[in-house]
Structure 1
């Protein structure tokens, strides 16, 4: 077998980060679950892990570099047997490769995202048979059954957290604008009050640590996704709220003070005399809360609502004509 540096494709003077990066890259490439049609991948995977185990242990690496131990961690000289570290393998503890090819260990590597490219999500997958296994029961009995050259028989698995649980939380537009607390009932029946974050919008996700399924290494998390509910007259425009406000002809001509709804309660709005349909008035700070804690505005668009076939209005306007050419800008 080639030496561990050759297996990982790194120089003898490689840093700890270089070793870790090389291992992560190769482990993804040769993981058995990603190479089900390549029977040689499992052996290669075992070699890669064994090489990482040796080189990630500063004591073992130094002894290997001095020629005191071989690739398997065994002393090259008879007097080496029985010495501290000579022929001794680290107990894997919470290591999914425990017992593999000389006690390979991944204590230095965060495996929660190591195989994200293979499994998706956070690299976690429920094992078959209800056991928690970061490799999701790879290769059937090939790894646990001892038939693989890397020595997977009796391998100890790293305890994993329970699965995350996803929730969809319907929230009204006004509650999002004001960051109102939301009550949510979890899968275990417990009810909690959830504070919406600054900048909340449709699709925003919140993570509740430890509120997911139980597992050997603790509970997973609850992932809550906000679903913004449409409002019957407000609508979102980025960080602003829009409202179409109908006004009467006399209010438009003479001006008026009008009670206007906002996301945080009604306010009085001044309409200037001679206001036209389409005019936009701004109410500062009545929009959605941004990520920096500030708020957008409410934009109120005036729409003049004329009565249908009103004899009194027709009588008052009899003989009067607006002589302005209000469509001049549409001329070619």
Structure 2
């Protein structure tokens, strides 16, 4: 009986790409797996036929030879123009090697999504996150802060071994220390996590009474954290080895501190720059004058207000903003004037303002320009 064309076996057209070949083989392997075809006596032979086809077509050199010479490329005596893949016929390849590409697809859920591996005597501790809220002043100055972190630390009674008195754990009798056990699944032998030691490869005859065999205990630790100048909300600080202790003497995880800078009563932050809204009286805005404004370093700066200043006018104080994180330089501070209308006027003040208004026909250019435009608009509507 002549062999079927390898492309036909996998349901492909000649010239199929490597990805198409791999995808087709995965589909065929799942479809023809003997465990799924107990009622089909031909399934195992068809499965082997698909495996043989994939062994050839997945290899670029073998595929090129097959495309040129067909099955004769692997039957010997084909002359100097072809390659037989190192002298090994397509049916002689290692089946486990060919099927490794689809092994995870078929048994990923059964094995927890991981390939079988060696034992894991000790596991690394988990990384921890700590949210730290600081003031804008703290972010400006930088600081050393002590925080209390609840975490797992190495058990002092057993020195992290998990065994009473610090004794060494013994090899798991079920898996012989491998952390995995093998089970036959029809045509395959599958490894899974050892149920006795949970994959650790070791068991403890007399667990430590303090930690219950885990090798770590819960405890709150005080840590000193250096908050650099210029930190912003979202800045992350890593403290290596300050996370959760490892299981049974494994290395500890890391601690990640996430910074949140609280909103300030006076200043609004924009990167390295600060904004401050400063109210000024109508008189100062009109006549000009000097005012004092606060700065983030706790000081004050004297600012000259030009006469005729309007609400929303901004003025810059250079290098009065926030320091740049991990870099040189400092941002600026922007003052935004808010001209304040007086309230709770006395009768005399009202009379003075009315008199001032009568004399102010040419002192409000913006109002004059606006109402001139309004009159033009109304006139155009009438027309």
Residue 180 (structure 2) aligns with: none
Residue 365 (structure 2) aligns with: 325
Greater per-residue strand proportion: 2
SS of 1:258 mapped into structure 2: strand
Greater per-residue helix proportion: 2
Match for residue 265 of structure 1 among 283, 298, 302: 298
Q: How many residues align?
A: 203
Residue 186 (structure 1) aligns with: 149
Which structure: larger Rg? 2
SS of 2:301 mapped into structure 1: strand
1:247 equivalent in alignment to 2:280: yes
SS of 1:318 mapped into structure 2: helix
In structure 1, runs of 5+ residues without a counterpart are 1-29, 31-37, 41-64, 66-70, 73-100, 102-137, 144-149
1:136-176 superposed Cα distances (whole Å, 9 cap, x missing partner): xx856999xxxxxx9x5x93227432101111111112222
1:305 equivalent in alignment to 2:268: no
SS of 2:231 mapped into structure 1: coil
Post-superposition offset of 1:317? 2.8
**Preserved contact between residue 178 and residue 288 of structure 1 (Cα < 8 Å):** no
Between 1 and 2, higher relative CO (CA 8 Å, sep ≥ 6) is seen in 2
Post-superposition offset of 1:325? 2.9
Cα 1:264–1:223 shift into 2, 3 Å: same
**Preserved contact between residue 272 and residue 322 of structure 2 (Cα < 8 Å):** yes
Structure 1 CA distance for aligned equivalents of residues 34 and 225 of structure 2: 50
Structure 2 CA distance for aligned equivalents of residues 231 and 305 of structure 1: 22
Residue 263 (structure 2) aligns with: 230
**Preserved contact between residue 272 and residue 331 of structure 2 (Cα < 8 Å):** yes
TM-score (norm 2): 0.44
1:164 equivalent in alignment to 2:102: no
Post-superposition offset of 1:308? 1.1
Cα 1:221–1:298 shift into 2, 3 Å: same
In structure 2, runs of 5+ residues without a counterpart are 1-25, 27-32, 36-85, 87-92, 98-108, 151-218, 378-383
1:37-91 superposed Cα distances (whole Å, 9 cap, x missing partner): x999xxxxxxxxxxxxxxxxxxxxxxxx9xxxxx99xxxxxxxxxxxxxxxxxxx
TM-score (norm 1): 0.51
**Preserved contact between residue 255 and residue 270 of structure 1 (Cα < 8 Å):** no
Post-superposition offset of 1:253? 3.0
Post-superposition offset of 1:229? 1.2
SS of 1:175 mapped into structure 2: helix
Post-superposition offset of 1:329? 6.8
Q: CA RMSD in A?
A: 4.0
Structure 2 CA distance for aligned equivalents of residues 329 and 156 of structure 1: 82
Residue 279 (structure 1) aligns with: 313
Structure 2 CA distance for aligned equivalents of residues 171 and 39 of structure 1: 63
**Preserved contact between residue 278 and residue 335 of structure 2 (Cα < 8 Å):** yes
1:177 equivalent in alignment to 2:140: yes
SS of 2:355 mapped into structure 1: coil
